[in-house]
Structure formats: C-alpha cells, structure tokens
Amino acid sequence: MKRKGKSLPSQLIIRSGRFVWTQMWHLMMSQMAPRSKSGEYLRPDSQFRDAVQEATINGAKYPAAAGRYRLMVGLGCPWAHRTLVVRALKGLEDVISVAIVAPSPEAGGWVFEQPEEGCQTVRELYELAQPDYRGRCTVPILWDTQQRSIVNNESAEIIVMLNAAFNAFAENPTLDLYPEPARSAIDEWNAKIYTAVNNGVYRCGFAQTQSAYEQACSELFTILDQIDSTLATQRYLCGDVVTLADVRLFTTLFRFDTVYYTLFKCNRRRIQDYAHLSGYLRDLYQLPGVPSTCHLDAVKRDYYSNLFPLNPGGIVPIGPDLDLWATHDRDQLLHPV
C-alpha cells in the first residue's frame, strides 16, 4: 500500500506565492512606472523639444513643408492620439504621413508595423537620431525625414505645431485650436487636466501604495466633476469653439470607460454616468475626421494585453458597448454672438 506524500499547507503556499508575486510586481512596476518614495507614479519629461516653424521664417532649423515630416504613433496611446486628432481637424493627412507602432512586451517597447529608416523598434529609431540616447522611448514622435532626426516627442508641443506651423498646406487653415484671446483659459485648463486627468488616470493605475492611489483618484474625480459642471452651460471647455484643451481631454475620455474605469481602478464613476461629460464626449467624437482616429479595439489590446503587471492573464474584455454616435444635443448650448 502506497503512502501518500505530505502536501504543503495551503496557507504556506498562499503566503509564499503572495510574497513572491508582490516582490516581482514591485520590480516590474519600477521598470514600467517610476515612483516617488510614497508610491506615486512620476512621469519622466520628454527629451526632444525642437519645433517646426512656418516656412516663411528665415533660418528655421525645421521649416514647415508638405511631405517632409512623419508622425510615429501607437493607436492605443492617448498622447499619440491627440496628434492624430489635430492632424485630422486641420486637414493635414496629405501633408504629414503616419507610421504605426504597437507595444511588444517581448521587445520591451514599441515595435513598428513596417520598418522605418531601417529600424524595427522605436528604441532603434531613437538611437539612430541620438546614438548615445538612454532615456525612455515614447510616442508620439515627430520625425524629420530629411535630416533623419526627432524634432519633438512631447505631444503637448506637437499639437501646437500642427495647429499653426502647417497652415500653408492645411485643408482647414482658418481653424485655430489655440486662439490668442483664449490662450490663458486654454493653458489653465490644460494644467488642471494634465495633472488630474490625462496623467491622473496613470497615477491611479500605476500607484504602488494605497495612499498614492486614493490621492490620485480623489483629484481625478474632483476635476471631472468640475468639468461636468462647466459643460452644463457651455458647449466646450473654453466656450463655443473647440480648442486644444478639448483635444487633450478627449483622448482620455475616449478610453475611460473601456480601460481606465476597470484596469486603472478609476471606478468611482464612468464618463457615461455624467450628465454633461457623456454628451460632450460624443460631440467631440462626431467632429469631422475624428472617428477615423479612434481605434477602440487597439486601445483594449494595447492596454489589457501588454500591461502585464496590471493584467497578468492578458484577457481582453468584450465590453463595454459605447454608442458614440448617439445624439448629444450639445449644439443647443451655443451662445448667440
């Protein structure tokens, strides 16, 4: 008669597994998301900060031109998405070409769908532009095909260039998303939205302590509540016209109910639960050219399949169902001149 071997106590297995997983989680998170001593996510600054200038400006290092510049973007990335939205609104699709990248855990970063400049990965492109580069290799990238260099990798600055520098070639040159009279209001909204919302959802999802998460989540919904109240009486953040502040908010709202609400634990409320933000999201989505920039399947795939520390199983949820073509009635808030 065989003697049955003694199995380890279930409590020991659970404690050991939890300890090992926690240590591995902190290690992986430290590589993916730099943190403060209190466990708060700290987003590093972008490193390439040159600018394309209007072609009429003498001596410009990067003069505006049709066909010279290329955007490197990930369809799931909200920071890259905002550049695609401005490109579409301004009518620059035939002026600035686009290269698509996708995240690859195996490659340790973004990988091109098709090789660019002989590069398979975004890391290789950064090193082509600057051989001694050792920083983060992010998108979007505004690439100069003539000088084979990175002009800029800060989305907030790229969209300002797309709005103003290429008007000589744009289909919608009179559309100004950063008008001088509204700039102080736009900048004020951008500062709030970046900290609490655009980066705020990442501060929630990448927090490594309970206190850091609760602080970020509280700030996120405080600003969302404030925005919702503002939108009760005006169509857009700065009045009756779309601005860069709306574009910067839109790409986060578009991903919110599908990704941030669940995966990033931003689950106090969904955007569709807000009386005014929900219609505002549909209003922006339905602007000419914007739907073609929105790829919800890619968003879900890039977040759920590739952020292993947050979703180890890699299972991509089926829902939610978002009816972004539903009537929004936001045009009723237009004020007579």
Tell me which residues are annotated as active site: 77, 202
**Residue indicated by tokens 């532009």:** 129
Q: DSSP character for 319?
A: -
- Rounded to whole angstroms, the Cα distance separating 81 from 73 reads 7
**Residue indicated by tokens 């839109």:** 250
Taking residue 142's Cβ as centre, other Cβ atoms within 10 Å add up to: 26
- Rounded to whole angstroms, the Cα distance separating 121 from 107 reads 8
**Based on the number of CB atoms within 10 Å of its own CB, is 114 exposed (0-12), middle (13-18) or buried (19 or more)?**
exposed
- Rounded to whole angstroms, the Cα distance separating 336 from 318 reads 43
Structure tokens given for 42: 């700290």
The residues near 182 (Cβ < 8 Å, ≥ 6 apart) are 238, 239, 243
Comparing C-alpha atoms, which of 305, 315, 312, 309 is closest to residue 103? 305
The residues near 41 (Cβ < 8 Å, ≥ 6 apart) are 33, 34, 35, 202, 203, 205, 206, 207, 208, 212, 216
Type of residue found at 243: T
**Residue indicated by tokens 């590069």:** 119
**Residue indicated by tokens 């992986």:** 28
- Rounded to whole angstroms, the Cα distance separating 307 from 21 reads 15
